Amino acid sequence: MHKLKRVFWGALVILVLLWLAAEPQPLGSGSFFPLRERMVQLSGVLAIGCMSLAMILALRPRWPEPWLGGLDKMYRLHKWFGIAALVTAVVHWLWANGPKWAVGWGLLTRPQRGPRPIIENPIEAFFNGLHGAAEGLGEWAFYGAVVLIALALIQTFPYRLFYKTHRLLAVAYLVLVFHAVTLMKFSYWNSPLGLIVGALLAFGIWAAAVTMMRRIGARRQVQGRITSLKYYPGVRAIETEIEVPHGWPGHRAGQFAFATSDVSEGAHPYTIASGWNAADPRIVFITKELGDHTSRLREKLRVGQDVKVEGPYGRFTFDDDCPHQIWIGGGIGITPFVARMKHAAMSNVAGRSVAQTVDLFHTTADVDEEALGKLAADARLANVRLHVLIDARDGRLTGERIREAVPQWRQASIWFCGPAAFGEALRRDFGAHGFPVEQRFHQELFAMR
């Protein structure tokens, strides 16, 4: 998380510093209206810069994954840049319109304008002639973007509608690019600020085009077919086995993929709950009924159905050199650990046993004896020490209970997947006891909106 914060705030600081370098008089001559003009420019640069970065991250590029810690972290950064774009765009709109309102209310006096200087540069003159259209179209695109970003942040807004409406942000973005290119102070284009903003806009336009053509992740998609379905009523979860005979590059335990079973619903991310065996190319997803889409899967999916799978993504892959690992799976967050145990079991059979010892804590409010039996069997085959805590019977899992059960916790690494608030509470608890959480507490941020 600290790396994400550094990237986020670093991007904002760089844009501000570049603007300061390009603007000879950041605060103007001391009167209000010159200040207002510069604040309109600064807020506009920040808004279009943040929106461009959000558009680029929406393409799910692979190259930042190792550096940022996985696609789940990249989507968190995408969300932050989207919120920052919304906030700075509102500030931009207020700086542009607030003084006009104040003049109309008699609170400010508009300064007298002298004759406009003749614009000799033909490109600047061309842009100047488009100011009226850019202002009008930009304002309407701003209103649309505000609504679309707000809908994306409302978790109760159905995913199937979010999937359809969120793509419209690409259209709004293209209009806002026209607004920004036309109205950004012309002298900025000859500065490093103009170079960086131009690059961001170019990549953002490409991202918008890919989004509108529905080609995000197209090169990483393969066709699969459902070979079996198993429902666990006690935990309201469905296990889906998909054959991917051609094109799947293989995956590591702990990674996830996007699956599309209904084009109108779009792609949904699911953690892969199986190891990889190239001789038997299959992927297993375990999906809990949590929302409008997942609650209908049991009715919609059928054996033999074609499914599009995209991936794999993620860096929650259990890579470290600690002698001991502590795994914590809250509810359906047990999925990546199931995959890792199946991988370990295959390694044990092949004579490549893992040297690390592992304690797995699975805490759940729901109980399905068959599912728990399979989990226990997987743990035995992988030589993993399993601790199952059922909320109604055993109470809540705490850092203290983990430390009591695992005396060597100071030398271990912790891998957590489950409710975000639960993970943050454990992170704070272990951090308060001197555990190096930044280096050895790994948490999947599995929230794609």
Flag whether pLDDT at 186 surpasses 70. Answer: yes
Phi then psi for 334, rounded to 5 degrees? -70, -15
C-alpha 290/C-alpha 237 separation (Å) is 9
Q: Which domains does the chain have, with CATH numbers?
A: 2-112+121-212 (1.20.120.1770), 218-313 (2.40.30.10), 324-443 (3.40.50.80)
Nearest to 231 by CA among 173, 184, 176, 300: 300
Half-sphere CA count of 275, side-chain side, radius 13 A: 13
* Alpha-carbon distance values, 59 to 206, 209, 413 (Å): 10, 10, 32
Using 50, 70 and 90 to split pLDDT, how confident is the model at 124?
Answer: confident
**Average predicted confidence (pLDDT) for the chain:** 91
Cα angle 212, 214, 220; round to 5:
140
**Residue 449 in this model has a pLDDT that exceeds 80:** no
The per-residue pLDDT for 190 is 93
Looking at per-residue pLDDT, the higher value among 104 and 114 belongs to 104
Task: Phi first, then psi: give them for residue 249, nearest 5 degrees.
Answer: -80, 0
292: pLDDT strictly greater than 90:
no
Largest interatomic CA distance in the chain: 86
Q: Given the DSSP bridges, would you call strands 412-417 and 282-288 parallel, antiparallel or unpaired?
A: unpaired
Which ranges constitute the DSSP H helices of 23-31?
A: none
Q: How confident is the model at residue 171 (pLDDT cuts 50, 70, 90)?
A: very high
Cβ neighbourhood burial of 105 (10 Å; 0-12, 13-18, 19+):
exposed
**pLDDT range class, residue 84, cuts 50, 70, 90:** very high
- Asked if residue 240 has pLDDT above 80, the reply is yes
Report whether pLDDT(194) > 90: yes
Residue 432 pLDDT exceeds 80: yes
Whether the per-residue pLDDT at 350 is higher than 70: the answer is no
Q: State yes or no: pLDDT of 30 exceeds 90.
A: no
Encode pLDDT of 34-82 as tens digits.
889 999 999 999 999 999 999 999 999 989 998 898 999 999 999 999 9
Q: At what angle do helices 131-153 and 159-166 cross, to 10 degrees?
A: 160
45 CB contacts (<8 Å, ≥6 apart)? 15, 19, 184, 188, 193, 197
Residue 28 banded pLDDT, cuts 50, 70, 90: low
